[in-house]
Amino acid sequence: MVLNLLFITTVIKSTFGVVTTGLWLIPLMLAAITYYRYDAVDPESRPLDQLNLYPEYDFIVVGSGSAGAVVANRLSEVRKWKVLLIEAGPDENEISDVPSLAAYLQLSKLDWAYKTEPSTKACLGMQNNRCNWPRGRVLGGSSVLNYMLYVRGNRNDYDHWASLGNPGWDYDHVLRYFKKSEDNRNPYLANNKYHGRGGLLTVQESPWHSPLVAAFVEAGTQMGYDNRDINGAKQAGFMIAQGTIRRGSRCSTAKAFLRPIRSRKNFHLSMNSQVTRIIIEPGTMRAQAVEFVKHGKVYRIAARREVILSAGAINTPQLMMLSGLGPRKHLEKHGIRVLQDLPVGENMQDHVGMGGLTFLVDKPVAIVQDRFNPTAVTFQYVLRERGPMTTLGGVEGLAFVHTPYSNRSLDWPDIQFHMAPASINSDNGARVKKVLGLKESVYQEVYHPIANKDSWTIMPLLLRPRSRGSVKLRSANPFHYPLINANYFDDPLDAKTLVEGAKIALRVAEAQVFKQFGSRLWRKPLPNCKQHKFLSDAYLECHVRTISMTIYHPCGTAKMGPAWDPEAVVDPRLRVYGVRGLRVIDASIMPTISSGNTNAPVIMIAEKGADLIKEDWLTNPEYKVKRQANGVRDPVPAGSDIQGISTLPRNSSQSDSSNISDRSNMESNFSNFSNSSSHINLGSSSNTSNNSSNIDSSSNFTLNYADS
């Protein structure tokens, strides 16, 4: 047991870089998990990292996140198809399993740790006016870092997608894909026609609630909103949150969709493999292969049928532009050959919220980290799968409300509330302020005076922003992080709508039901907003622009649309315009952002996208692999000397750090390597006679648009 504890402490130090007093719970919790072999009770073992890759697969899926894990699972259901799933990060760990520790995964090695570009309109209370944008760099992607909230969006979202020229994406068509993946274990929803049972993704409420969330729901009813299933017939209303958890632990898409298929013979997974570009043959404009770096080697693996980009709304457009697909002027600026001029990286949307709205209570009913007994809390979680460690990242309540800017005759609210029995002050500055990137001066003046006090918060978030941001390349080096311009509040109406949402949140907090706790607003003004009257519209707008919080929902950077839409990157079947054998299946394709948390909609997109691929390749006579006269054989294992692998210089860094500066050696060596050998000779391997050249042979495959 002592050895286990020492080992776990080492893991924490290597994973998080620092162990603070705020992490007192983690070593004990991990030691208990190790001792009781908690992971072993999961019905599925962890997936394996395939070391001996084939030179060619039928389908290559890039990214194992909320979309990619689903796509890989569904495509590998067809036994004759060989599927390769490529993930830049490692597997999940024990910490990621614990719902309440979601914040501790951000800024770790499981996070790309992106930041937005400096802004004068938003993120003014963040360091250098830049908001942190966590994105999962781990098996399961951002479903491993998120707060697990299961929200489908609004019927009108999908009907709107269809009205834009995307047939088959209306609510009545996509509902079955939500239900297909869902295994809803809430008894009161068991016979609900809007929910599924028996799917791979477990959905349920946290088994532990604070008294404050019941008061929050009751306050909503006092204001005239129903206590309802917001994923059901109507959305406007209040409810206790549902989340993707299973037996008290996080149910990521890796756990739900990849662990059950670890033994499929036609499925391979390559972890710690960062894709650098998609190789597209200019003559035929067909996606032929995927190039990626793994353990200091550059691999090029051919795709017989298709490459599917499921790398998320940041990495997918970055990879497309690195591969020659994107705005012509932008690619030419970075010296990248333009293969297809497309508006890649544009149309980016995100849900931005107003953080820091804090209410104090007199009774010990909130989550205060230093109050919990570490032994009791840990073993309540490990042995009984209950307790405060099962909370959905701390969020307990959800609500959807109308501001004066929305049409109340439609059930299409424009503001969502996240209610949590804690606030920025609740951990004494140990983690939350770091995750937010909050300026120390703001924290010290406003939140430090109430550190470790019982408090709760409502975070209003904007459901349908009018502002649009973008993702651009920083350089042609795939290891350089992209330029992310969130462009929050570029349209002034966005800030005004969020101000109205804050007013409604304040009215909720003033409801009679909260009086029993002595609840009252913490009235310390933000230092840069003191010139405005406290709680005036001008003050609230200043607050909105100061503590502007991403809700981790970037989307829209490879917009789905009909051929006549000049902003469209993919068609309604998710095929990239002008390129054969390449699709995008992730949040990038959303024409407009869904009204609510985006994890469930992305899983739906993946379920539908996989079905579109199956329909095309199994029923459409135009989708057949044309076999040349020399014949084609199935891929064979190629071992470590597989053709299409080249080794980076020995002094190249193999660090997994998510900071650019820490990868400078890898970047420099990769850049030099790419410049000196932009066309790797795949026939130079010592065992050429045993293996066909994967890229050269793949060029013999073309989509046959005639009968074959």
Strand ranges in 537-651 using DSSP code E only, listed in sequence order: 548-550, 582-584, 645-647
Mean pLDDT of 547-561: 96
Would you list the DSSP string of 266-326? TEEEE-SEEEEEEEEETTTTEEEEEEEEETTEEEEEEEEEEEEE-SHHHHHHHHHHHTTEE
Tokens for 165? 């020229």
Q: How far apart are CA 330 and CA 535, in angstroms?
A: 43
CB 248 within 8 A of CB 65: no
Q: How far apart are CA 406 and CA 466, in angstroms?
A: 13
Write down the pLDDT at residue 36: 52
Tokens for 140? 């399961």
pLDDT band at 43 (very low <50, low <70, confident <90, very high): low
Q: Select from 146, 400, 300 the least CA-distant residue to 644.
A: 300
Q: How far apart are CA 150 and CA 156, in angstroms?
A: 18
Q: How far apart are CA 547 and CA 426, in angstroms?
A: 17
Write down the pLDDT at residue 652: 35
CB 326 within 8 A of CB 525: no
Mean pLDDT of 485-494: 98
Mean pLDDT of 483-492: 98
pLDDT band at 457 (very low <50, low <70, confident <90, very high): very high
Tokens for 366? 């909130």
Least confident of 135-144, 243-252, 404-413, 641-650: 641-650
Q: How far apart are CA 170 and CA 50, in angstroms?
A: 39
User: How many CB atoms are located within 10 Å of the residue 49 CB?
Assistant: 16
- Of the two residues 427 and 362, the one the predictor is more confident about is 362
What proportion of the chain, given as a percentage, has pLDDT over 70?
A: 82
Q: Select from 521, 404, 367, 537 the least CA-distant residue to 458.
A: 521
Write down the pLDDT at residue 344: 98
Write down the pLDDT at residue 386: 87
What proportion of the chain, given as a percentage, has pLDDT over 90?
A: 75
CB 315 within 8 A of CB 63: yes
Q: Select from 433, 432, 499 the least CA-distant residue to 461.
A: 499
Kindly list the catalytic residues. Answer: 553
Q: How far apart are CA 486 and CA 133, in angstroms?
A: 10
305-346, pLDDT tens digit by residue?
A: 999 999 999 999 999 999 999 999 999 999 999 999 999 999
423-452, pLDDT tens digit by residue?
A: 999 988 888 999 999 999 999 999 999 999
Write down the pLDDT at residue 605: 98
What's the whole-model pTM score? 0.87
pLDDT band at 191 (very low <50, low <70, confident <90, very high): confident
Q: How far apart are CA 475 and CA 322, in angstroms?
A: 9
3-state secondary structure of 142: helix
